[in-house]
């Protein structure tokens, strides 16, 4: 071990388990690629002000969890804690919304950073795959995103998860509700910090996990009862579309989520095998965000699914993904001449698209065959001086142990046939 370890709250993805992470990212992205979403990649850091304004000054993410720093040049930056604000910033900057082709549908995959108290499922560096549909207000778009997230999880074989759904109202009805909620909350026994939250972002108080707070919240006014007609109709349509698509969900009138920009549809995917960090993904509509960061009115909706927690969810359900072996053929040369010839065959096989590896370092036969087995390869290609003198190599099936001599110039074809 070196003197250094991965920083607190982080961990390394290493083979072989890292293959599962890649497969999860792929599985989440596949339905998006198939539904008109284009890939976007933004920097790992942004102007800190983007998150302060976008995610919200009163959120834990901005006040407590942001890796903010000043550069030598005096720029105030922050490592990105989430993907929506950056994606919208990039879309506006590139004028994607002006192409006359709304919604702008984008997907991304990357690392995010939050200075959180680490525990299982909660890290300071984590991965998300996200999707944003920018510039259109249409309940079918909200439904599409929920259906696609559901499809991603199902394609991985997950089933022990639930979809929680709520509407947070809009600029018309939410302020009325906010005032009613504030009146109610001001009458409760709460600590200093929570009292401050009542004034800045009272909805977040509903999300307080503490028992002492939750028991006082019984009888609190619910947003559901304050939704305006437009929001009610919109929400009903989202619900109907999901039901028609066969996607089961639970209405959760208390779901608010930790980011300030959400309006109307909000949802969370929770997995029941994960303990306290049960949210595997979440998202919603953010009709006001564009204006909050200086853009035009662009009603939008999106989600982010956590890759780390999705992998934990697979473990919790005992699911092992059926991943193709990294190596199909493993070449074992015996002697110098065989090294030269087989190395050439390895390159040839790789060019032909066959995943091939080679016994490097002049290992003896026994060790090399051990490496061949460990690689997961189906076939070993073994050659010694005598085989080569006859223009042959041995093709060995590592499962059955069966071995056949193959002419050197027929190796690629024979390997292909054996793998088919």
Residues binding ligand AMP (CB under 6 A): 82, 114, 116, 122-123, 126, 128, 258, 279-282, 304, 306, 308-309
Shortest reach from residue 256's CB to ligand AMP, in Å: 11
- Cα separations in angstroms, 305 against 225, 231, 282, 302, 316: 30, 25, 6, 10, 17
The partner residues of 100 in beta bridges, in order of sequence, read none
Residue nearest to ligand AMP (CB): 306
CB distance 33 to 107 below 8 Å: yes
The partner residues of 394 in beta bridges, in order of sequence, read 382, 405
CB distance 362 to 342 below 8 Å: no
Of 147 and 274, which CB lies nearer to ligand AMP in the complex structure?
Answer: 274
Of 56 and 103, which CB lies nearer to ligand AMP in the complex structure?
Answer: 56
Shortest reach from residue 79's CB to ligand AMP, in Å: 12
Of 261 and 358, which CB lies nearer to ligand AMP in the complex structure?
Answer: 261
The partner residues of 311 in beta bridges, in order of sequence, read none
CA–CA dist 254, 167 (Å, integer): 10
Of 126 and 234, which CB lies nearer to ligand AMP in the complex structure?
Answer: 126
Shortest reach from residue 127's CB to ligand AMP, in Å: 8
Of 274 and 346, which CB lies nearer to ligand AMP in the complex structure?
Answer: 274
Shortest reach from residue 15's CB to ligand AMP, in Å: 21
Shortest reach from residue 385's CB to ligand AMP, in Å: 55
Of 86 and 128, which CB lies nearer to ligand AMP in the complex structure?
Answer: 128
CA–CA dist 76, 60 (Å, integer): 19
CA–CA dist 27, 24 (Å, integer): 5
Burial of 135 (0-12, 13-18, 19+ CB in 10 A): buried
Phi/psi region, residue 258 (left: phi>0; alpha: psi -120 to 50; beta: rest), is alpha
Shortest reach from residue 87's CB to ligand AMP, in Å: 12
CB distance 306 to 128 below 8 Å: yes
Shortest reach from residue 131's CB to ligand AMP, in Å: 12
Of 266 and 356, which CB lies nearer to ligand AMP in the complex structure?
Answer: 266
CA–CA dist 221, 223 (Å, integer): 7
């Amino acid at each position: 071990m070196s003197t250094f370890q991965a920083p607190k709250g982080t961990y390394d993805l290493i083979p072989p388990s890292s293959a599962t992470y890649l497969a999860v990212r792929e599985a989440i992205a596949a339905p998006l690629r198939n539904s008109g979403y284009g890939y976007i990649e933004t920097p790992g850091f942004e102007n800190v002000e983007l998150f302060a304004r976008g995610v919200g000054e009163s959120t834990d993410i901005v006040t407590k969890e942001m890796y903010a720093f000043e550069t030598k040049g005096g720029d105030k930056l922050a490592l990105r804690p989430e993907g929506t604000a950056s994606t919208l910033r990039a879309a506006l900057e590139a004028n994607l919304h002006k192409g006359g082709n709304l919604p702008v549908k984008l997907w991304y995959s990357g690392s995010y950073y939050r200075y959180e108290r680490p525990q299982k499922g909660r890290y300071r560096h984590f991965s998300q795959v996200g999707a944003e549909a920018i510039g259109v207000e249409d309940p079918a778009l909200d439904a599409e995103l929920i259906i696609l997230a559901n499809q991603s999880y199902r394609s991985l074989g997950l089933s022990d998860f639930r979809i929680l759904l709520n509407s947070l109202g809009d600029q018309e009805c939410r302020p009325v509700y906010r005032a009613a909620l504030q009146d109610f909350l001001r009458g409760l026994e709460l600590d200093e910090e929570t009292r401050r939250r009542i004034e800045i972002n009272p909805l977040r108080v509903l999300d307080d996990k503490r028992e002492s707070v939750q028991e006082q919240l019984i009888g609190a006014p619910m947003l559901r009862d304050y939704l305006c007609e437009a929001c009610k109709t919109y929400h009903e349509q989202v619900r109907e579309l999901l039901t028609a698509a066969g996607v089961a969900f639970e209405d959760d009138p208390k779901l608010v989520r930790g980011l300030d920009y959400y309006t109307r549809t909000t949802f969370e995917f929770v997995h029941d095998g994960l303990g306290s960090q049960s949210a595997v993904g979440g998202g919603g509509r953010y009709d006001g965000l564009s204006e909050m960061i200086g853009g035009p009115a662009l009603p939008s909706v999106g989600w982010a699914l956590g890759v780390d927690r999705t992998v934990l969810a697979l473990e919790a359900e005992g699911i092992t993904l059926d991943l193709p072996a990294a190596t199909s053929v493993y070449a074992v040369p015996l002697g110098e001449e065989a090294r030269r010839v087989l190395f050439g065959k390895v390159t040839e096989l790789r060019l032909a698209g066959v995943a091939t590896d080679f016994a490097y370092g002049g290992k003896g036969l026994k060790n090399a065959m051990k490496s061949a087995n460990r690689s997961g390869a189906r076939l070993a290609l073994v050659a010694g001086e005598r085989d080569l003198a006859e223009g042959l190599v041995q093709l060995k099936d590592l499962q059955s142990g069966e071995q056949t001599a193959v002419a050197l110039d027929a190796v690629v074809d024979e390997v292909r046939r054996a793998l088919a």
